[in-house]
Amino acid sequence: MEILKVFDTMPYGPAPESPAAANAWLDEHKRKFGLFIDNTWKFPKSAEYTPSLNPATGDKLADSIQAGPEEVDEAVAAARQAFEEWSHTPGSVRARYLYAIARNVQKHHGLLALLESMDNGKPLRESRDIDVPLLARNFYYHAGWAQLMETEFRDYQPVGVVGQILPWNFPLLSLGLKVAPALAMGNTVVLKPNSFTRLSALLFAEVITEAGLPPGVVNILTGDSSIDDMIVTHPDIDKIAFSGTIEAGRNLRRQMAGSGKKLSLLLSGKSPFMVFDDADLDSAIEGVVDSIWLNQGQVQCAGSRLLVQENIVDDFITRLKTRMSKLRVGDPLDKCIDIGAIIDQSHRDTIDQWVQIGKKEGGSVFQPDIRIPEKGCFYPPTLFTGLEPASEIVQEDILGPVLVSLTFRSPAEAVEMANNTRYGMAASIWSQSIDLALDVASKLKAGTVWVNSTNLFDPASGFGGYRESGFGREGGKEGLYEYLRVLRRDRPRPKYQPSDIDEGKPVWGDHTPSQLTMPLEGWEDKKGIPRIYRTPKMYIGGKQVLPDRTYTYAVLSPSGEVVGMVGDGNRKDIRDAVEAAYAASMANPGWATSKGYKRSQYLYFIAENIYARRDDFVRRIMDMTGRSQTSAQAEVELAVEQLFTYAGWADKFGGSLQETTLRGVTIAVNEPVGVIGIACPDEFPLLAFISLLAPAIARGNTVVIIPSMKHPLFVADFYQVLDTSDVPPGVVNIVTGHRDHLMKTLIQHEAVDAVWYFGTEEGSYHVEYESAVNIKRSWVNYGIQPDWTDLKESSGQEFLYQATEVKNIWIPTGG
């Protein structure tokens, strides 16, 4: 009995890792680091230095330079010069470099992990067993894509010089997710680590130098957030990849508006951890520990909202509290601890402020009676119960070791609660019923869903968010498109700047309804008798409806003749159309969950009925545009061809099986984005309209579409095509009127998930700027129209990519 008692009461002893190797490396550099530009260390004479502190002790580790505008210019110039050769280096050669980097990461595994934990505060076992292995895996994985680029991406080219801004929570892992695909696809990089965690990126500079990477391909700048702004706004940066807070992402989106630069954002999250009553509760408890207390909860995909089925909640919470009392908080270099140090005292204070808010909101807080080091930035694991779903602490991302628990009764309620957030980074589902788990997974608005698992990562599986968690993916084949541009299209460089706005110029999107049209040529027929004009209505929810305020405007031919009247829509018309589109998307069954085969049939029916009425469409196009009959006929034929193309894609772009390291399956599902607002150009009014509408609805989206303001009369015939094609109500909603005015309302509507704008440079700027409010996906043309008559340019992968969200579902198998 005494022996059993000893085992029950035996305390964990310390198992510290020696910091000697990291200290030796720091001492070798005299604990002062320059900027890594063109494969050399730069030490500007007038530079200021900023300390890097160990969050577990508060001790200074080293000083690094605060870069300025001149250094940013120098780094971008080096990257631009290197790009000219690197982008033309054969993919097989780039693959060799990436392979060499991966091997070097493995050779210096111990030093990288040690320095990461000292600089970041995370437990050494996480840096050693997760971060550094995934860093190496990223370069191995993308070496393969570099080798295959010429065949698999033959229609694409590198973006150019890429600015990459890292977060402080996963410095090395985030570096791998960004740098490896950029280099694989032939881009060069200007990298900016977070001001809290600079050192591992500087060590990585030596890793790539040792691997022989050519000068200028990767450049590393250190400094505070002012450097972020310099990189983002630099005219010779072609793309930005950013990970950080939603506030910073929103500001960055505005800074880049109208610039023609590509952007991907990996932002905040408030992910649900869902436990059903048939789950293996002990496994789920360990899942909670891994989900919310990994890296002290400083994880964008942390399962910080615990949703437990009501009939097991008491048992589950009791078990969870017991497990929390066994967690160990302490020195990150101790291999026996579970939770390390918070990144900085200011962030620790922020976490504690959120805990106080939770208490004021009426939540019951539990913090286990465990030892917390007195020195350093540490915070205990924290559990809240008894709060409402709308509570601030339930809705907002804390980015700390704070878990909030709620209950649900049914799977439907669980899905509703899980989606009751403005974020959509990840989710975790625990159930012994694979049918239930996959059904719930399909309904969640999240970029990654783990089944009976959590926080699984692999570069073969794209990672990124829905909604305000950002857009774009890191990893997987889908992540490579972030670093590519269509071969025949260089980066747009719009000249429009907001400073061009004069005080007397109307505000973008403002619109006064048209006044009465005075009698012009065309009002009367050849006998002098007034013509009878049919005024097309709006098409909302499957019905032709009058504009809210019954305003109309005249449509003129190129010679100034009145050829018809259409409704002049307003904000209320857009709201009605969005409501109809949202209802059609969310119905059970709805358009979003309909089979691809069925969607293809509707597209074929639309094509068939347009072809049957082709003479009507040809006359409309001739009347509106003044083009020849031959030209109008060609436009109608191409529109039919586009419909057939996307009818073909409707059931052939569903996703793929990702070959990750998981024992099981990881499925990449191409889901519809949701409700898409589309503004069409004036060029080729029917063809452009169809070219934008078809990919959106083919992939399960519902749309609110604004046809050409100058040439909208074809919609009178198109309404009837939709009716005779039996397209479900609300799938296609058409509002005529002032393009920018209606688009501004679409951007501001919370139920609109993405906007596509093919209009002016000025409009493109404002669409991107306004979409920053809720990080809405936007696709604009910067005033440059594709050749709509060239179906290689006006259809295909780019359009399908814009019409989908990629969700990766991880399903472990076996014992």
* Residue 814 pLDDT level (bands cut at 50, 70, 90): confident
pLDDT value of residue 72: 97
CA distance 788 to 685: 10
* Residue 815 pLDDT level (bands cut at 50, 70, 90): low
Asked if 667 and 811 touch (Cβ cutoff 8 Å), the reply is yes
pLDDT value of residue 503: 57
Q: Which region among 51-60, 223-232, 520-529 has the lowest average model confidence (pLDDT)?
A: 520-529
pLDDT value of residue 528: 66
pLDDT value of residue 444: 96
Q: Which region among 9-23, 183-197, 391-405 has the lowest average model confidence (pLDDT)?
A: 9-23
Burial of 277 (C-beta count, 10 Å sphere; 0-12/13-18/19+): middle
In 3D, which of 403, 731, 783 has the Cα closest to residue 599? Answer: 731
The percent of residues in the chain predicted with pLDDT above 90, rounded, is 85
pLDDT value of residue 515: 58
| Mean pLDDT, rounded, for 255-268 | 95
CA distance 273 to 455: 11
| Mean pLDDT, rounded, for 410-430 | 96
Helix boundaries (H) for 362-419: 392-395, 411-418
pLDDT value of residue 523: 55
CA distance 175 to 197: 12
Amino acid in the structure at residue 557: S
Question: C-alpha angle 265/266/272, rounded to 5°?
Answer: 140
434's tokens: 């694979």
pLDDT tens for residues 109-127? 999 999 999 999 999 999 9
| Mean pLDDT, rounded, for 547-570 | 84
| Mean pLDDT, rounded, for 240-264 | 95
Residue 563, pLDDT > 90, answer no
557: Cβ contacts below 8 Å, ≥ 6 apart: 522, 563, 623, 624, 625, 626
Asked if 402 and 363 touch (Cβ cutoff 8 Å), the reply is no
332: Cβ contacts below 8 Å, ≥ 6 apart: 56, 117, 118, 120, 121, 122, 123, 124, 340, 341
In 3D, which of 56, 47, 48, 73 has the Cα closest to residue 17? Answer: 56
Residue 514, pLDDT > 90, answer no
Asked if 124 and 333 touch (Cβ cutoff 8 Å), the reply is yes
| Mean pLDDT, rounded, for 190-204 | 96
Query: In terms of DSSP bridges, do strands 675-679 and 754-757 run parallel, antiparallel, or are they unpaired?
Result: parallel
**DSSP summary character for residue 181:** H
pLDDT tens for residues 152-187? 999 999 999 999 999 999 999 999 999 999 999 999
SS3 249: helix
pLDDT tens for residues 577-598? 999 999 999 887 889 999 999 9
129: Cβ contacts below 8 Å, ≥ 6 apart: none
| Mean pLDDT, rounded, for 455-477 | 94
Share the mean pLDDT of the chain.
Answer: 93
* Residue 5 pLDDT level (bands cut at 50, 70, 90): confident
CA distance 273 to 285: 11
Residue 1, pLDDT > 90, answer no
pLDDT value of residue 257: 94
Asked if 111 and 127 touch (Cβ cutoff 8 Å), the reply is no
Residue 548, pLDDT > 70, answer yes
pLDDT value of residue 50: 93
In 3D, which of 171, 172, 173, 97 has the Cα closest to residue 140? Answer: 97
pLDDT tens for residues 329-348? 999 999 899 999 999 999 99
Query: What residues pair up with 220 in beta bridges, in sequence order?
Result: 36, 191
The percent of residues in the chain predicted with pLDDT above 70, rounded, is 95
DSSP string covering 76-140: HHHHHHHHHHHTTS-HHHHHHHHHHHHHHHHHTHHHHHHHHHHHH---HHHIIIIIHHHHHHHHH
* Residue 565 pLDDT level (bands cut at 50, 70, 90): confident
pLDDT value of residue 554: 82
Residue 520, pLDDT > 60, answer no
* Residue 316 pLDDT level (bands cut at 50, 70, 90): very high
Name the maximum alpha-carbon separation found in the chain.
115
Burial of 236 (C-beta count, 10 Å sphere; 0-12/13-18/19+): middle
Residue 502, pLDDT > 70, answer no
> Which segments within 440-599 are labelled E, that is strand?
448-451, 470-471, 484-486, 538-540, 543-545, 552-556, 562-567
Residue 536, pLDDT > 90, answer no
Question: C-alpha angle 753/757/759, rounded to 5°?
Answer: 165
CA distance 44 to 591: 59
pLDDT tens for residues 42-51? 999 888 999 9
